[in-house]
Each structure stands twice: as structure tokens, then as C-alpha cells.
Amino acid sequence: MNLIGAGLACSVGLTGAASAAGLALPRRSRATGVGVLTAALGAAGVVVGVAALSGRTFSACLPDVLPLAGVYLGVDALSGLFITVAGAVVLAVAVYGIGYHGHGHDPGRAASALFPLFALAMLLVPAAASVSTFLVCWELMAVTSLLLVLTEHRRREQVREAGLWYAVMTQLGFVLILFALVWLAAAAHGETFAAIRAAAGHLSPAVRGTVFVLALVGFGSKAGIVPLHAWLPRAHPEAPSPVSALMSAVMVNLGVYGLIRVGMGLLGGGPRWWWLLAMAAGAVSAVYGILQASVTSDLKRLLAYSTTENMGLIVLGVGAAGLFGSAGKPQLAGIALAAALLHVVTHSAFKALLFAGAGSVLRATGTRDLDALGGLRQAMPVTTAAFAVGALGAAALPGGAGFVSEWLLLQSLIHGLAVPGIVVSVVLPIAVAAVALSAGLAVATFVKALGTGFLARPRSDGAARAAESPATMLAAMLMLAGAATVLAVAPGLAGSWLARAVAGVTPVGPAVADAVRTKLTVLGSTMSPLVVVAGTVGVTVVLAGLLRLVVGVRRRAVPLWDCGAGPPSARMQYTATSFAEPLQRVFDDVLAPESDVDVTPVVESAYLVERVSYHRVVPDRIEHRLYAPVLIAVRWCGERARALANGSVHRYLGYAFSSLVILLVALAAVK
Amino acid sequence: MSGTMVTGTTTTGAGIAVSVLQVALTVVGAPLLVGMMRQVRARMEGRAGAGVGQPWRDLRKLMRKKPLDPHGTGPVFRTAPLIQVATTLMVAAAIPFVSVDTGVGEAADLIAVVALLTLGTAALALAGLDTGTAFGGMGASREMTITALAEPTVLMAAFALSTRVGSTNLPAIVDAGLKDAGRVVSPVSVLAAFALAAVVLAEAGRLPVDNPSTHLELTMVHEAMVLEYSGPDLALVELAAAMRLSVLLGLWSALFLPWGTATSTGVLAVLGATALFVVKVGVLGAVLAAGEVFMAKLRLFRVPELLAGSFLLAVLAVAASFFLE
């Protein structure tokens, strides 16, 4: 048993210990006990992942663990990348949870015990090497996360609704993945990934195509790809903040992992239309996700929609990689896949950080409505700074982690025009436009989140009474902020790891390792994030020094410009809703907001207005149009089916008898 | 590794000198450009005008004042002007204004340049929100909307210009234009030029997108955002705005009127290129100022239509780059 096997065994043991601690420890020490053990579990995950990324591999067969099939584990560099990310985020979030759960948000025994199990499931999914093992780990992840989403169901009614949506969507996704993988295993006459990989080339295109589409839909629903995103902006905000961070920064990644593993690893790539489908889904998700994020004023919902955007960008990159691969351009394919994987890593860093920041705000103020926040800068300076680092990453601006991976993605798309074919020349510009529009809207979205949520003056009593979070929460946020900054400045540190992860699924050569160094190089283009960031920071500092020399240090405090009408009050500020109003108007046709102005006149005269109330909702239009008819149809079928079951035993016996006869007839006809 | 050769990738002392020259030229010249444009406008409207040096005199006056902190503003408000000046200086050092051999040739990526300018905008928008006044928020909201919508056009134009060169590296694009004049007057280039021109107007806050001389709530964009700045901070904001205009016009001229840009760091070549660059940007500024006399500001909610139009041109440029080459 090598380092990877030891690490995996260790993480299983630590999970047992952490879950036992969650069940057994008294309330006072529960958060600390579970947090420390789960952090150790995360660290074990990082060790496993890094070992796999450094070139070690691991495979094991445990025939006794699972009846009939047995458990097959296999860790290669691609699994290693996802395990490393999962482990690192679990480590930081577990430390965060010590403070979060320990100071006022105790989730109870059951949730404390489930939290490490959820973390372990996310480490094991990429390590699975057979269909049954994968499905068991996947379902463990789905069920534990569902139960964790429901943690606060007694306190808020929305939690129950979110749980229902999540349960239905995640199980439907599971069914599709089950169909895809079981069909694949049946057609390949073997259920281990190695057997499937060996046989996949000989399967008929129809089977391969159907399996890929089922996998795309199933894994896409886990990654929150439009139109299967409906559960994400409900479940992620309603879960307790540490769980939201894990779901949004790690669990969604595994949808991408599944897509890469099945589409590229097991099926070994496919025809062009597969990848065009993936790119289309990715581009629509990127733009639609960030558009919804830009108009919402619920901080956690905004972050959840931003997850849909980023997953869209990643799926777009994976699709582009497949497209280039099918066109016989392995070098470009490698760079596109590396861009997608790097975005997986950077997104996990900044999204975990942002959800941790949002959780701190929720804990300190009791609200996540941006329209009621503001002024947290003075009371919560560390949280504000950490959130700013995360926002810079999510806005894909220089100095932020997202900039590096989006730059690589854009480069691979721009250079992809060298691939011949009219379809490619139409699709790639649209893809570039989608990335560009989502990048532009992301800047507006995160300026809104940071500017109205943390700067300016408090818009409610809760925000005015905010106090800084406990030290463990701050430490976790600083850890994540540090990771995000390192990724933004020196992505080259991950270059050789990325190259190994990519090489496992597409043959690439040294292109990827060359592309991601301290200086990013894609064919003709180069960009040095270190020079850009260091230059900007350096010039700013020099300018600040010069300004001090010229005008001195002393600054006089003066009142704000109030148009001569007395000091401006906090209610006069722009809110998140008003900030987003121009964008909402511009994208009126897509978003279809519903606004309602209610004017109440005083009793004596219709001309004197007593009260005006303005109400606005931006419904999720895709959800509205797509899900409502389905729900209505399901309900209709349910009502009709009721007539079949009237309680008469005779009738039920008749059903059983007639089905038996029909089956026998069918059998006779087939034989 | 295969790929197009990138020019100007060596960091030499002379290259760094070129970058320093470009930065100095931008800092000194930007307020003069603004003064010249105001003068052109004044003359065309039948006024005497305040003279080309007036923006510099304004800056000097502002720098002598005491720095003020409006109530409730924090570090974001104080550092935003510095960040905006710094990002603009970085961009000025990177774009090949006078020579393709700048000291930071490798980092002079078109996408990075656009992202740096956006970073400056975002910093100032945060400062506008930090004041906690209606004006600051209004300006920030409008500015970010325009920036978000301008981004696709810029990247599409970058796409169109970079496909033939096989690189988004600015020195490489400019160098290719210098070596083959046909590229610069091709349909791709002309379409991209019109697309980027609209973005330059939007990003620099000029008519018809924003009126830099307005102080009317209904129409202000940039001015509303920076309403609380005064004294030396305002001087930085004004300087940054002027430099952004120069840098954007310089970028446009480097991409679409590259002739005369030096390909070496020879002293004579650089001096000649510098003179020519000043003339190019000056003429562009004068044309812009003259055009503004005959133009009214667009309603804020008509601006997206302008940007959508420019986006369409950029898409056509990409299509042309594929079908016509």
C-alpha cells in the first residue's frame, strides 16, 4: 500500500472519528472536535491528491466491502487534481466551521456527524474506479449533502422547499448517470473503468452518443448547468454557510469531473456534435448565470448563480477541448482542458472564500440581503478584505485568481480558429463573446456585492451592530485568500500538475506544462500575471508615497455633499437593487422582471398620496418556462393515476394478474 | 514549441527606456490633449477658450489644496484614484505607442491591457459606492453597466485582430500591421476599427456616451461617481481620466494607424516615432472634439444600443477574418 492508499485509509478512519465525535461530544466541544478531525481529513485528502499529481498512481480492489461487485479504487493525476481541491477546501472550511458552529450556529448532532461523511464522499468520488463504486460514492455525496441542506429546516420554511427541489433534481440526475454508466458497463461487458476504457472504442456510435448525452445531462445537473440549475440558487443559499461553501466550491466540480472522466476518459472522446452540445450548454450557463447574479440582491443567491456561471465557463472549456481533440489538434485540446481545470481550481479557491465571507456576514448581521447590508468595512475589516480578494477573483480582474484561467480559456478559443470547418468558425466567436459578456457582467456583479454589501453606510440595524467573526473563521478565510492570491500571481506552480492531469485523458505532449508557467504562454501569446500584479501594486505604492510627500499625511474630515439639504441618511444610498437597475433594464427581454407600483391615496383626496410601495421580483425565467409545465403535467398524471387505485383488493389482484399475462405473452413473442 | 514568433520579447535596457518615455509622454501629454480638445471645441462654438494649458493649471491648483476626507469614506475611497492612475500607467508602458520594442513586450497582452483598464474602472466605482451618497452609487452603477456591455466588443475586436497574427500580444499585432500595410486597410481591420472606436468613446467617457463637462444628475456618469473627490485626490482622478483618453486613443492608433511606429530602439527612430505619435493622437483628439460639437448625448438607455451595434461590427470583423482571408 503506497502513500495514496495510506492517505485514503487514513481519511476513512478520520471520517469515522469525526462522525463519532459529532454524535458523542457534548454541545460545548462538539464544533471543535468535529472541526479539527474534519480538517485532518481534508489534509489527508490533500496528501492523497498531491501524491497522485506528482506522478504516483494507486489502484486497489476490495472485494468484500460491497456485496456482488466489490469496491474498485483507482487514483490517477486527474482524480488527484479534484481530490487535492476537495481536500484543501474541506481543510479550510472545517477550520471555518469551528468558529461558525461553535459560536451560535450549532447544527445539532446529526448534521455534525454528517458533515465529515459529506467531505469524505467528495474525496472518494474521484477515487472510484468501477461503475458500482462510483455510483455508491456519488449517492453517498448526494444524500449527505441533501440532509445537510435541510439542517435549518425548522427555522426557515424556504429550507424545506429548497430541499425538495434539490432532492428531486439530484435524484433525477443520479438516475441519468446510473442509466449511462450501467448501459456502458453492459455494452462493454465489464464494470471496471479499465474494462470500459478497453471496450469503449468498439461500441456502436449510437450507444456512445446516447451514453454521452445522458452523462452530460446527469453530471450537468450536479454542476448547475442551465437549464438544470434550478436547484442550485435555492439549495446553496439555504444550506448552512460551511455546507454552502463545500457544495459550491467542491461538489459542483465533481459534475465536471464526471463529464471529463466519462466523455474523455472512458469513451475516449467522440464526434464533434458531443462537444458542440457541451459548449452550447456551457456558454448559455455562463451568460445566464451571471445575468441572474447581477440582478439579485441576496448575497448567497448571487454567489450560487455565479457558481452556475463559472461551471458554464468550465464546461465550455471542456467542450472546446473535446472539439479540438476531435479535430485532431491535441495541443489546443490540452490547453483548453488545462484552462478548464485551472478554472476548477481557481473557482474553488475564490468561491469557498466568498461563501465563507457571506457566512460571516450572515452570522454577524443576521441577513444576507444586500439591500439591508453596508458599512461592514469598519466593523469587519478582515472579512471585508478577504471578501474583496474573492470578489477580485470572481470578477476575473488582474490580481484575481479567475483572470489567469479565463485568459487561458480565451487564448485557447482564439487560437482554435485554426481548426478548419465552418461550424468551428461560427461557434468559437460566439464562445468568445459569451466569455467576454460573462466577464463584463461579473465585474458589475462583484462591484455591487462588495460595494453595497461591505462599503458605504449600514442600511439596517443588523448591519450597524455587526462585529468581526471569531479567529478560526478569520484564519480559514485568510488561508483561502492566500491560496487565491498565489493562484492569481503564480499559477505556474500548478503547471506540471495540470499537465499531468490533462495528459491522463488526452494525449498532449509538453504544450500544457509550457503554457502554464510563471509566464503564461499559449502558442503566440504570452502574459505574465506576476508582472501585471506586481507592477500595478508597485506603481500604486510609489504613487501613494509621492502623494504623501507632496501633500502631507494630514487629511481633514469634512461632511459629504448634501445639496444643502442636511446630512444624507443611510436610506438615501444606492442599494444593490438600484445598482442593478440599469442592467436589468438592458436585459429586460431576457430577465422579464415583474415590478409592481402600489399607490395608496389618503382618504380625503385622490390627489394626495399617502404611501407608495414598489415591489420587484426577477423570476428565474428558464425555470418558469421549463419546469412549470412539467410540474403541471406530473400533477395531472398523478391525479389521473389516483382513479386506478380505488382501494378494491379485487382490482389490485386483477392488475397483478393482467401484468403477469402481458409479461408472459411478451416473453413468448420474444422467444 | 511551434507558433508565431513574437517580437519585442526581450527585456532590454533600451526597451525599458522606451516604456519610460511612453509613460512620461502620457503623463505630460494627456492634460494637454484634453486642453487642446477643449480649445478646438471652444473655437468651433465661437468662444475664445481657456488655452491648451488650462488642464495643467487646474491640476496645479488642485494639488496645492489640502486633502479632505468626506465623512464615512474609507481606504477604498482614498486608494481608488491611485489604482486608476497606476493601471493607466501600466497600460501606457505596455502598448507600443512609439516602438514595438517596449521593455514589457511579453506582458503587453491585449486582453491584459483591457483587464487592467477595467480594474481601474472597478476601483473608482467602488469608491463611488463607498461614499454612501446617491450620486456616487448612481455613477458607479451606470459606469459598471457601460463597462460590462463594452467588454464583449473589445474582446471580439481583439479576436478579429489577433487571428491572423496568431497572438494577442500587442507588439506582435502592431508589428504585423507595420510589415504588411494591406492588413491594416483590410475589411477586418476597418470593421474592428469602427467597433473599437465606439468602445473608446464609452470607456473614455466621451459624447455620445457620457459628457465630461456635465454636472446634471440625469446625465452624469463618471462625474457623479467622483463627485466627492476634491483637492489632490480630484487632481489624480482628473489626471487618470485624461490619461485614459490618451491611452485609448493611442491604442486605437497603434492598432489601426501603426505607420511610423519604430521597430527598434534606435534614438532617431524613437524620436521620429514619438513626434508622429503625438501628431496622430492629436489629430484623433481634434477630430473627436470637432465631432462632439455636432453630437448630443445619448439617453443612458440608448447607450446599450450603440454598444450592441459596435459588438455587431466586431462580430462581422471576426467573420470577415475567417471568410475573406
| Ordered DSSP codes for A350-416 | HHHHHHHHHHHHHHHHS--BGGG---HHHH-HHHHHHHHHHHHHHTT-TTSHHHHHHHHHHHHHHHG
Q: Contact A440/B150, CB-based, under 8 Å?
A: yes
Q: Is residue A471 less than 8 Å (CB to CB) from chain B?
A: no
Average pLDDT rounded to a whole number, residues A535-551: 91
Amino acid at A180: A
Contacts of A540 (CB under 8 A, 6+ apart): B79, B82, B83, B86
Assign B41 to helix, strand or coil: helix
Q: How many CA atoms lie within 13 A of A202 on its CB side?
A: 8
Residue B4 — pLDDT band, cuts 50, 70, 90?
Answer: very low
Chain B residues whose CB is inside 8 A of the A556 CB are 66-69
Q: How would you class B216 by CB atoms within 10 Å of its CB: exposed for 0-12, middle for 13-18, buried for 19 or more?
A: exposed
To the nearest whole Å, the CA of A371 is away from the closest chain B CA by 13
Q: Report the C-alpha gap between B84 and B128 in whole angstroms.
A: 13
User: Best mutation site among A382, A403, A414 for testing chain B: the one with the most B CBs within 10 Å?
Assistant: A414
From A398, A567, A574, residue closest to B119, measured CB to CB:
A398
Q: What count of other Cβ atoms lies within 10 Å of the Cβ of residue A635? A: 10
Q: For residue A184, how many C-alpha atoms fall within 13 Å in the half-sphere facing its CB? A: 35
Q: Quick check: A330 pLDDT over 90?
A: no
Confidence of residue A602 (pLDDT cuts 50, 70, 90): confident
B-chain residues within 8 Å CB-CB of A414? 158-159, 162-163, 168
Q: Percentage of chain B with pLDDT > 90?
A: 52
Nearest by CB to residue A432, choosing from B5, B155, B165, is: B155
Interatomic CA distance for residues A435 and A155, integer angstroms? 39
Beta-sheet pairing, B68-70 with A556-558: parallel
Which chain B residue lies closest to A587 (C-alpha atoms)?
B304
The whole-angstrom distance between A196's CA and the closest CA on chain B is 34
Number of H helices, E strands in chain A: 27, 7
- pLDDT over 70 at B137, yes or no: yes
State the average pLDDT over residues A65-82: 89
ipTM of the predicted structure?
0.93
Candidates A426, A526, A588, partner chain B, best to mutate (most B CBs within 10 A):
A526
Contact A397 B119 (CB under 8 A): yes
Which residues in chain B have Cβ-Cβ distances shorter than 8 Å to A429? 156, 159, 315, 318-319
Three-state secondary structure call for residue A596: strand
Q: What is the pLDDT of residues A632-649, one digit of tens each?
A: 999 999 999 888 888 889
Place of cell 421580483: A617
| Angstroms from A232 CA to nearest CA on chain B | 25
Q: What pLDDT does A193 receive?
A: 92
Residue A15 has pLDDT above 90, yes or no: yes
Instruction: Confirm or reject contact between A452 and chain B (CB < 8 A).
Output: yes
Chain B hits for A583, CB-CB cut-off 8 Å, are 145, 148
- A528 contact B CB<8A: yes
Question: Cell triple for residue A666?
Answer: 411478451
Note the pLDDT tens digit of each residue in A243-279.
Answer: 999 999 999 999 999 999 999 988 988 899 999 999 9
Which of 44-103 (A) contact B at CB < 8 A? none
- In the beta sheet, which residues pair with residue A596? A615
Where do runs of H (alpha helix) occur along B204-266? 222-225, 231-256
8 Å CB contact of A560 and B133: yes
Q: Please indicate if any CB of chain B lies within 8 Å of the CB of A563.
A: no
Q: Pick from A397, A539, A560: which is nearest to B71 by CB?
A: A560
At B8 the pLDDT is 41
CA distances in angstroms from A174 to A140, A219, A529, B173, listed in the order given = 11, 8, 40, 49
Coil/strand/helix, residue A74:
strand
Residue A111, pLDDT above cutoff 50: yes
pLDDT at residue B191 is higher than 70? yes
Contacts across the A-B interface (CB distance below 8 Å): 272
**b/e map of A355-380 (b: 16 or more CB within 10 Å)?**
bbbbbbbbbbbebbbbbbbbbbbebb
Interface with A, mutate which of B60, B111, B237 (most A CBs under 10 A): B111
CA distance B234 to B229: 5
The helix/strand/coil state of A229 is coil
Cell of A535: 507592477
**Which pLDDT value is given to residue B1?**
31
CB-based contact A312:A286 (threshold 8 Å): yes
By residue count, chain B amounts to 325
Share of chain A above pLDDT 70, in %: 98
Window 277-306 of A: residues touching B by CB (8 A cutoff) are 294
Interface of A with B in 431-450 (CB under 8 A): 432-433, 435-437, 439-441, 443-444, 447-448, 450
Angle at A49 between CA A46 and CA A52, to 5 degrees: 150
Residue A279 is inside which H or E element, if any? helix A272-295
Separation of alpha carbons A200 and A213, rounded Å = 15
Distance from CA of A506 to the nearest CA of B (A): 18
How far is CA A231 from each of CA A222, A225, A284, A288, B122, rounded to the nearest angstrom?
A: 9, 10, 17, 15, 31
A354–chain B nearest CA distance, Å: 17
Interface membership of A385 toward B (CB under 8 Å): no
- Percent of chain A residues past pLDDT 90, beyond the cut: 59
Residue scoring higher pLDDT (B184 or A394): A394
Give residue A242's pLDDT.
93
Confidence label for A512 from pLDDT (cuts 50, 70 and 90): low
Average pLDDT value for residue range A106-110: 85
Cβ distance of B79 and A432 shorter than 8 Å: no
Residue A559: Cβ within 10 Å count: 11
Residue B325's pLDDT band (cuts 50, 70, 90)? low
Predicted confidence (pLDDT) at residue A439 exceeds the cutoff of 90: yes
**Mean pLDDT to the nearest integer, A356-385:** 92
Q: Using a CB-CB distance cutoff of 8 angstroms, which residues of chain A are in contact with residue B120? A: none
- Give the amino acid at A119: A
The structure's pTM equals 0.93
- Strands (E) in chain B, as ranges, are 68-70
Nearest-CB residue to A457 (from B67, B72, B168): B72
Q: Say if residues B28 and A549 touch (Cβ distance below 8 Å).
A: no
Of A619 and A537, which is predicted with more confidence? A537
Q: Please write the tens of the pLDDT for every residue from A26-59.
A: 888 899 999 999 999 999 999 999 999 988 889 9
Per-residue pLDDT at A221: 93
Alpha carbon distance A488, A390 (integer Å):
11
Question: What integer pLDDT is reported at residue B9 of this predicted model?
Answer: 45
Mean pLDDT of chain A, nearest integer? 90
Nearest CA in chain B to A532: B107
Mutate which: A527, A577, A583, A588, vs B, most B CBs within 10 A? A527
How far does the CA of residue A574 sit from the closest CA of chain B (Å)? 5
CA distance A163 to A153: 9
Contact A540 B129 (CB under 8 A): no
Q: How far apart are alpha carbons A451 and A177 in whole angstroms?
A: 41
Q: A520-522 and A525-527 as β-strands: parallel, antiparallel, unpaired? A: antiparallel
Distances (CA, A) of A485 to A313, A438, A496, A539, B52: 21, 22, 19, 19, 44
Question: Which residue in A has a C-alpha nearest to residue B137's C-alpha?
Answer: A574
pLDDT per residue as tens digits for the range A217-251: 999 999 999 888 889 998 999 999 999 999 999 99
- The residue ranking higher by pLDDT, A98 or A421, is A98
Task: Indicate which of A547, A589, A590 best probes the interface with B, i.e. most B CBs within 10 Å of its own CB.
Answer: A547
- DSSP label at residue A611: E
Show the cell assigned to A121. 464522499
Alpha-carbon distances of A189 from A66, A182, A184, A203, rounded to whole Å: 19, 10, 8, 11
Residue A561, pLDDT score: 84
Q: Do B107 and A532 touch (CB under 8 A)?
A: yes
- Whether the predicted pLDDT of A320 surpasses 80: yes
Q: Are A60 and A119 in contact (CB under 8 A)?
A: no
In chain B, residues with a C-beta closer than 8 Å to the C-beta of A581 are: 141
pLDDT digits over A179-216, tens only?
999 999 999 998 899 999 998 888 899 999 999 999 99
Supply the mean pLDDT for chain B: 88
What's the pLDDT score for residue A348? Answer: 96
CA-based nearest residue to B73, from A453, A375, A28: A375
Q: B79 to chain A: which residues are within 8 Å by CB?
A: 540, 544
Closest CA to B33 of B205, B249, B274, B257: B249
- Per residue in B96-125, pLDDT (tens digit) is 998 888 877 677 889 999 999 999 999 999
Cβ distance A540 to B168 less than 8 Å, yes or no, reads no
pLDDT exceeds 60 at position B70: yes
Distance from CA of A453 to the nearest CA of B (A): 10
For A390, what's the count of Cα atoms within 13 Å in the CB-facing half-sphere? 30
Nearest-CB residue to A403 (from B115, B311, B322):
B115
Please give, rounded to a whole number of angstroms, the shortest distance from the CA of B305 to a CA of chain A: 9
Confirm if A344 and A253 have CB atoms less than 8 A apart: yes
pLDDT band for position B183 (cuts 50, 70, 90): confident
**Residues A616 and A596 sit within 8 Å (Cβ to Cβ):** yes
The 10s digit of each residue's pLDDT in B220-258 is 888 889 999 999 999 999 999 999 999 999 999 999 998
* CA angle centred on B113, ends B110 and B116, rounded to 5°: 150
Asked whether the predicted pLDDT for residue A426 surpasses 80, the reply is yes
Question: Which residues on adjacent β-strands are paired with residue A614?
Answer: A597
Task: Please indicate whether, in this complex, the C-beta atoms of B140 and A540 are within 8 angstroms of each other.
Answer: no
In A, minimum Cα distance to B148 occurs at A440
**pLDDT score, position B295:** 86
